[in-house]
Structure 1
Amino acid sequence: MNQESLWNIFINACLINNFVLAYFLGICPFLGVSGKMDTATKMGGAVTFVMLISSVCAFGINSLLTAIDAPYLQLISYIVVIASTVQLVEMIVKKMSPALFRALGIFLPLITTNCAILGLVLFQTNKGYGLIEGFVFALGAGVGFTIALMLMAGLREQLEFAEVPKVVKGTVITLLIGGVLSLSFMGFSGLGG
């Protein structure tokens, strides 16, 4: 059992070791869905929900597989849980908000292959987090993911009003902004002690 406080776990996952800006996990939606603030916020919420469900399920799966001495089934079990949760989210979003479903496009089903979620459950298991610690870790990672998406979306929306030289328009400026955001998040590394 890990003796780290819940607040430290949350801050570590959210800011210090942000999955997108420090570990570079989940870059696909970070670059693809961060064009508009509204879409980025909702994608962040969907990813956070999948992270929370996957974290709780990963704790149960890890406990079960450890009890039956079958740790080699961890990875495939985690993938099945993540894919099932994403399918649930996709059906809910399609039913509740068809406009959001169309706005998220291919990135919604791609949550299944989002390495940030698989990374979350693997990190959680390797760190030996219990149920509560794992849940807080997932919440921090989801909030951090959402913050990264919202920061990128806000900056990209502001760029629409700026005169950007043709040589850096489009993907180039987006990657430059992502790099600067990543560098700025390195400043939080001092919080870790």
Structure 2
Amino acid sequence: MIEHIELFFKSIFIDNMVFAVFLGMCSYLAVSKKVATAVGLGAAVIFVLAITVPLNWLLDQYLLQPGALKWLGPEFADYDLGFLSFIMFIATIATMVQLVEIVVEKFSPSLYNSLGIFLPLIAVNCAILGGSLFMQSREIETLGLALNYGFSSGIGWFLAILAIAAIREKIRYSNVPAPLRGLGITFIITGLMGIGFLSFGGMLTGGDEEGEPSTEPTVQVEQVKTEDLSEFNSTQHENVAENTKTVD
């Protein structure tokens, strides 16, 4: 349970697709002029990531990894189809994006028109493919963790585009210097937001059981100090006795 919670918050804040690895920046900058449009695209990205990352995890575990085909028989145990990772991942992503496009066009034509070409371009959004590739490189062990990673990565991208869209709507009425208007001030705000998101890294630092100091060295030190003090006291008593005899 702790592993799921840590992965959830780490994927949203610390390993944010936009602020940490700069993936999906084209859509992030182009579709963040209005909050309503940003919400629609962010929700679509969450859905696509939450579906494609677990599906690609299954493909990776039971088809692409070295020895993944052993479930077909011992003669297939030595096969390695890892070179097909990009093709299989992109095929899965393209299929799910087409499904999202059909659903959005059916139930929200206004959102479909406002998103325009950027809705089908989710298929080539590097943040979507990056989620599957990071899932593969980080060796996520279970399907539940893969689902968690895809969903939380989508939430992180959604929060990023929603925040910048809200800010860009407000700064329209601000007196921004002429050289910084447009993408200039947007990049500056993005950098400041990235610093804010990365600052959440402190919430994941905790005590390490293996790194906890042991009490045994302290006991030994205390014993050594006690022995030295006893020897010192006995020496002082002897010196005092000798000085007394000398005086007498």
What TM-score bracket applies, with the shorter chain setting the length?
Answer: over 0.9
Which residue number in structure 2 is paired with residue 152 of structure 1?
164
| 2:195 paired residue among 166, 183, 187 | 183
| 1:98 paired residue among 88, 109, 114 | 109
Which residue number in structure 2 is paired with residue 107 of structure 1?
118
C-alpha displacement at 1:110, in angstroms?
1.2
Which residue number in structure 1 is paired with residue 138 of structure 2?
127
Which residue number in structure 2 is paired with residue 165 of structure 1?
177
User: Aligned partners of 2:167, 2:28: CA distance in 1, in Å?
Assistant: 13
Which residue number in structure 1 is paired with residue 32 of structure 2?
34
SS in 2 for 1:94: helix
TM-score computed with the length of structure 2 as normaliser: 0.74
Q: Which runs of 5+ in 2 are unaligned?
A: 70-78, 206-248
Conserved 8 A contact 1:16-1:192:
no
SS in 2 for 1:178: helix
TM-score computed with the length of structure 1 as normaliser: 0.94
The letter for the 1-side match of 2:37 is: T
Higher relative contact order (CA 8 A, sep 6+): 1
Q: Which moved more, 1:81-90 or 1:63-72?
A: 63-72
Task: Please say if 1:117 is aligned against 2:128.
Answer: yes
Alignment of 1:29-108 (within 5 A): 29-65=27-63, 66=65, 67-68=68-69, 69=79, 70-108=81-119
Q: For residues 4 and 117 of structure 1, do their structure 2 counterparts lie closer, same or farther at Cα, with a shift above 3 Å needed?
A: farther
Task: Please say if 1:8 is aligned against 2:6.
Answer: yes
Aligned residues: 191
Residue-by-residue CA offset, 1:138-171 (whole Å, 9 max, x unaligned): 1110111111011101100111121222221112
% identical equivalent positions: 37
C-alpha displacement at 1:137, in angstroms?
0.7
SS in 2 for 1:35: coil
Q: For residues 76 and 4 of structure 1, do their structure 2 counterparts lie closer, same or farther at Cα, with a shift above 3 Å needed?
A: farther
Q: Which runs of 5+ in 1 are unaligned?
A: none
C-alpha displacement at 1:186, in angstroms?
2.3
The letter for the 2-side match of 1:182 is: G
Which residue number in structure 1 is paired with residue 233 of structure 2?
none
Higher CA-based Rg: 2
SS in 2 for 1:141: helix
Conserved 8 A contact 1:15-1:185:
yes
SS in 2 for 1:5: helix
Which residue number in structure 2 is paired with residue 174 of structure 1?
186
The letter for the 1-side match of 2:192 is: V
User: Aligned partners of 1:171, 1:144: CA distance in 2, in Å?
Assistant: 21
User: Aligned partners of 1:73, 1:126: CA distance in 2, in Å?
Assistant: 15
User: Aligned partners of 2:185, 2:113: CA distance in 1, in Å?
Assistant: 25
C-alpha displacement at 1:4, in angstroms?
6.6
User: Aligned partners of 1:71, 1:13: CA distance in 2, in Å?
Assistant: 25
Residue-by-residue CA offset, 1:77-106 (whole Å, 9 max, x unaligned): 000000111111111111211110111111
